């Protein structure tokens, strides 16, 4: 995007931002495949993500995602917690993997550190399942 964005004036950037802000997020579909083996055997794939999103896992210090991002994933306008509902699963998974690995391009390290701490104990399966669940969330 940098080659394209660098051609925009400050007003063009504001206009593009306003246009994107006016768009309604659509939701995708969560993966309902049944997990065949492992600790989550018998659960549908998205249900693992749903449990983490709604309840977290206190035994591993993972807070519920909805505590910051809202029950429908619509975000929180107070502290800058973004809307997640309808995000593409591949994007969400990649971001969670980056947080877990400690790699970022964020300018605000405090915001990054919060998500890095939350995502550190997540397994690959949990990251993929959370991403699938978020993709299927619909705004209410």
Span 37-44, average pLDDT? 93
Give the number of domains in the chain.
1
CA pair distance 6, 10, nearest whole angstrom: 10
**Where residue 27 falls among pLDDT bands split at 50, 70, 90?**
low
5: in domain: no
Per DSSP, the three-state class of 113 is helix
The pTM for the full model equals 0.78
Q: Is residue 72 pLDDT above 70, yes or no? A: yes
17: in domain: no
Q: Which two tokens stand for residue 17?
A: 């931002």
**Total number of residues shown for the chain:** 140
Say what the pLDDT of residue 52 is: 96
Say what the pLDDT of residue 26 is: 60
115: in domain: yes
Give me the domain span that covers residue 100.
27-136
Question: What mean pLDDT is reported for the chain?
Answer: 87
């Amino acid at each position: 995007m940098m080659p394209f964005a660098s051609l925009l004036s400050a007003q063009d950037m504001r206009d593009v931002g306003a246009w994107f802000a006016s768009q309604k997020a659509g939701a995708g579909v969560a993966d309902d495949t049944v997990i065949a083996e492992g600790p989550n055997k018998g659960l549908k794939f998205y249900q693992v993500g749903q449990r983490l999103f709604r309840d977290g896992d206190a035994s591993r210090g993972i807070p519920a995602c909805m505590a910051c991002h809202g029950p429908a994933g619509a975000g929180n306008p107070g502290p800058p917690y973004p809307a997640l509902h309808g995000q593409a699963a591949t994007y969400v998974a990649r971001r969670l993997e980056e947080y877990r690995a400690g790699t970022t391009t964020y300018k605000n390290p405090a915001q990054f550190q919060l998500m890095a701490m939350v995502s550190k104990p997540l397994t690959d399966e949990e990251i993929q399942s959370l991403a699938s669940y978020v993709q299927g969330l619909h705004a209410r």
